[in-house]
A and B are shown apart, each in its own frame.
Chain A
């Protein structure tokens, strides 16, 4: 199975700031990367697929990039509602494994 490692495990940033979250795969995943946002007590929400394509209705403050084994999620103009845990997932090879998540706190 492909292992997904996210970093950092948690971070805190002020309102208005920009952050970049990282996801590394144990082998190349050919841009088959998705990102999800999960707030406490809620189901995950799909943000991005194919590394950089926003799901319908997702704000343009979210963007993704990367290639090979290394991928990033960038969030700009941070607002309190962006506080959540963010997960990456590879869907190149089944099983479609998730990273362990990055918890983002907005100060």
Chain B
């Protein structure tokens, strides 16, 4: 069975950075077409697509509004991808989800979500 287990909740001050990790199990982490995508959800709001990473080669992209603020990493030795978001503002308060795609595009499994709260 496929599992995506995310890191725990975090509280940050404005201007700080947060790193959210997503540990995969139950499938070949670097298999062809298996990517990890990131989606966030602000309190009471809908799903906002953020970007993706290819665990096989570290490639990927994030939408323009996050460019310059996000760093994507992966560690194939522990089947984990991470997303670090810097320059946090209160508008970054949200639940951050990772999700697996196959064929590079089709989301099938989701992580449980990581609550990130930005507050002074």
Q: Across the two chains, which residue of chain B brings its CB closest to A49? A: B106
Of A49, A55, A95, A99, the residue contacting B46 (CB under 8 A) is A99
Count residues on chain B whose CB falls below 8 Å from chain A CBs.
20
Contact B108 A43 (CB under 8 A): no
18 additional A-B pairs beyond A43-B112, A46-B110, beta carbons within 8 Å, are: A32-B105, A34-B106, A43-B110, A43-B111, A49-B107, A49-B108, A50-B106, A89-B47, A94-B61, A95-B49, A95-B51, A95-B63, A96-B37, A96-B49, A97-B49, A98-B46, A98-B48, A99-B46
Of A45, A94, A101, the residue contacting B110 (CB under 8 A) is A45
> Chain B residues in contact with chain A, CB under 8 A?
37, 39, 46-49, 51, 61, 63, 97, 99, 105-113
Chain A-chain B contacts (Cβ-Cβ < 8 Å), number: 53
Q: Which residues of B contact A71 (CB under 8 A)?
A: none
